[in-house]
Amino acid sequence: MAIVEFSLKDLEKLAGRALTKKDLEERIPMMGSPLEKAERGRVWFEVFPNRPDMLSAEGFARAVRMFLGGRIRTYSVQQGGIRMDVSPSVKQVRPCIAAAAIRNVRLTPDAVESLMQTQEKLHDTLGRKRRKVAIGVHDLDKVKPPFTYKAVAPESVRFVPLGKATKMDLNEICKKHEKGQAYAHVLAGSKLWPVITDAKGDVLSFPPIINGELTRVTNGTKNLFIDVTGTSQSAVKQALNILVTSFAERGFCIESVNVGGRRTPDLSPMKIKVKADYVNALLGVDLTETKITQLLSRMGIVYAKGMASVPAYRTDVMHCMDIAEDVAIAYGYQNFNAEKPRGTTIARRLETKEWTNAAKTAMAGLGYQEVKTMLLSNNGQFSKMGVKGNACEIANSVTAECTQCRTWLMPSLLRTFSQNMHVEYPQRIFEAGDCVLPDGKAETGATIIRKIAAAVSGTTAGYEEISAALSAFMGSMGIAFTLVPAEHGSFIRGRCAKVMARKVAGFVGEIRPEVLEAWGLEKPVAAFELEALKA
């Protein structure tokens, strides 16, 4: 979820109109960009992942301007003379590149702030944290074209990275520079690393890590050079289009670069066939072609004779359904007549849920309070319980408490007691819930077991009480059962029985003092746990 921050004044200047409280709080959110907050002349909006073009102040203002009735602006690209050669050596490491020059630049503080935010947000979203797309913005006048994009041995190239005073080779940058440490993993596994150099061999950029200090952009920068590198040509193209059209919104000139024989950027619109009938059938409305044209123009899309022209900065349009959504947004979700549900279908309940509900009612009736605990657990479900077992293991949990799926409920009940030692006793609790076991035969490698467990804790809690509760519970559920003396690591020897019945299996007994101690419990606990057997 991307939250972007803008100066309201800058936004208004770019949109070419004042933005009222109503615009900010009611109309702009209806474009699909809710206002998060507004204070001291600054505004924060959420931008959905399908609209990276709205991550920049310029792009956001453009969308707002058109949505509120402003005109569609078209952008022209001047053919420039700059050449960028692409060496085949980059294929193995970072094959895609596009570039552009921006002329007549006047970098106001607002423009700089917006550029920095746009670059950062594009890196994080569309760029997948620089793996898929990374952007370099340079002072064009500090270097001499033609440029070369190539992959080199890390020790063979040395330059002063942005923010440093001394030359470092690529290896040193990855080890010592903050950006190197943060992003070196993107290049892991490759022996040659990408650089962009100029005619003199000076380094502009070491993508996706860092630019050279040489091309640092300052207030006085007049002309910009932009490189976008990555692993997906379409994403690289999209990022460049978003950037250059943002600059164009500030009145700067876009100039193309010859990148390995192709001219970039290419701002020609995407054409997609969209029939009015299709839109009407999908939305349940009856709009004329003219009306659809009007609506789509508010989304920046030119529509005529069943053909939509989608501007080059839009990255989200894959199917005519996406165009239909733009029609719906421009029409206003609030203006659709909601249709009361009609048509008959017959509902079916899951028997397991019904059974569980009955079981829960039975336990509550016995004075046991239902608890709902986490399905995520850790090895404590075995080690603290004096038992051994296998669980589904999580590879990458950020929380040490959550490294396995629970295989039984008893640990959760004891944990609940340990959290409630200040609450009046006796405490009687139960849980009915899913447990997960590894199962090589199952499609997903795991299987769900539905269990129910109950426990009582207090000075007089013991086998007599819990076995009586078990008996009453089984009676309520209509299950005939027998108790057979059993051994179990969690229960006191001689005070544990196996529950034998046709539809369920489980244990009942008094919890061992060493288990109580492991959970930090000070009062005796007696408990049972049952699992529903598959028919």
Contact 120, 193 (CB under 8 A): no
Number of chain residues interacting with another protein (CB under 8 A): 98
Residues near 449 by Cβ (< 8 Å), separated by ≥ 6?
Answer: 407, 434, 435, 436, 437, 531, 532
* Of residues 480-499, those binding another protein (CB under 8 A): none
Of 79, 218, 334, 459, which one interacts with another protein (CB under 8 A)? 334
One residue of 262, 360, 503, 523 binding another protein per CB under 8 A: 360
Site for another protein contains 241 (CB under 8 A): no
Q: Which is nearer to another protein, 199 or 364 (CB)?
A: 364
Gap between the Cα atoms of 480 and 487, Å rounded? 22
- Phi and psi at 463, nearest 5°, equal -60, -40
Identify residues 259-318 at the interface with another protein (CB under 8 A). 281-285, 318
CB of 151 closer than 8 Å to CB of 192 = yes
Could you give the string, one character per residue 11-50, with x where binding to another protein holds by CB under 8 A and - elsewhere?
A: ------------------xxxx-x-------------xxx
Residue among 9 and 353 whose Cβ is closer to another protein: 353
Judged by CB under 8 A, which of 39, 305, 339, 482 binds another protein? Answer: 339
For CA atoms 8, 11, 17, 23, give the dihedral sign.
negative
**Least distance (Å) between residue 83 CB and another protein:** 27
Q: Considering the complex, what minimum distance in angstroms separates the CB of residue 48 from another protein?
A: 3
Query: Which positions from 50 through 109 interact with another protein, judged by CB under 8 A?
Result: 50-51
**In the complex, what is the shortest distance from the CB of residue 355 to another protein, in angstroms, rounded to a whole number?**
13
Identify the residue among 364, 468, 480, 533 touching another protein (CB under 8 A).
Answer: 364
- Name which of 87 and 425 has its Cβ closer to another protein: 425
The nearest distance, CB 158 to another protein, in angstroms, is 33
Of 305, 286, 287, nearest to 295 by C-alpha is: 287
Q: Which is nearer to another protein, 188 or 484 (CB)?
A: 188
Which residues from 308-327 bind another protein, rule CB under 8 A?
318-322, 324-325
Question: 168 to 187, contacts with another protein by CB under 8 A?
Answer: none
Locate 220 and state its tokens: 């006085």
Residue indicated by tokens 């009407």: 280
CA distance 308 to 25: 30
Q: Applying CB under 8 A, does 363 fall inside the site for another protein?
A: yes
Our CB check for another protein shows the closer of 148 and 420 to be 420
Using CB under 8 A, which of 305, 340, 388, 534 touches another protein? 340
**Nearest residue (CB) to another protein, 49 versus 69:** 49
Stretch that binds another protein, among 92-100, 204-212, 353-361, 505-513 (CB under 8 A): 353-361
Which of 89, 108, 352, 460 is close enough to bind another protein by CB under 8 A?
352
CA-CA-CA-CA torsion for 459, 465, 469, 474, nearest 10 degrees?
Answer: 140
For residue 449, the surrounding DSSP H or E stretch is strand 446-457
End-to-end CA distance of the chain: 45
On whether the CB atoms of residues 367 and 357 are closer than 8 A, the answer is: no
Touching another protein, residues 219-238 (CB under 8 A): 232, 234
CA distances from 351 to 209, 261, 356, 378 (A): 56, 66, 8, 30
Q: Measure the CA–CA gap between 246 and 238, rounded to whole angstroms.
A: 12
Closer CB to another protein, residue 93 or residue 391? 391
d(CA 438, CA 446): 4
Per CB under 8 A, the segment of 151-159, 221-229, 257-265, 356-364 that binds another protein is 356-364
Minimum CB separation from another protein for residue 436, in Å?
5
CB 305: neighbour CB atoms within 10 A? 7
- Of the pair 72, 394, the CB lying nearest another protein is at 394
Residues of span 424-453 touching another protein by CB under 8 A: 424, 426-429, 434, 436, 438-440, 442-446, 448
| CB of residue 385 to another protein, shortest distance in Å | 18
Residue 341 makes contact with another protein by CB under 8 A: yes
Q: For 291, how many CA atoms within 13 A lie in the half-sphere containing its CB?
A: 12
What is the DSSP code (8-state) at residue 25?
I
Work out whether 343 is an interface residue with another protein (CB under 8 A).
Answer: yes
Interface with another protein includes 460 (CB under 8 A)? no
Q: Could you say which DSSP state residue 500 is in?
A: E
CA angle 22, 299, 24 (to 5 degrees): 15
- Residue 529 to residues 383, 420, 454, 535, Cα–Cα distance (Å): 18, 20, 6, 19
Cis amide bond preceding 194, omega within 30: no
Site string for another protein, 383-422 (x = CB under 8 A): -------xxxxxxxxxx-xx--x----------x--xx--
Q: d(Cα 82, Cα 55) in Å, to the nearest integer?
A: 28
Q: Give strand pairing partners of 256.
A: 100
By CB under 8 A, name the one of 369, 383, 460, 471 that touches another protein: 369
Is there binding between residue 531 and another protein (CB under 8 A)? no
174, 371, 496, 526: which one binds another protein (CB under 8 A): 371
Which CB atom, from 237 or from 250, has the smaller least distance to another protein?
237
Q: Cα dist. 308→112, 249, 270 in Å?
A: 34, 22, 8
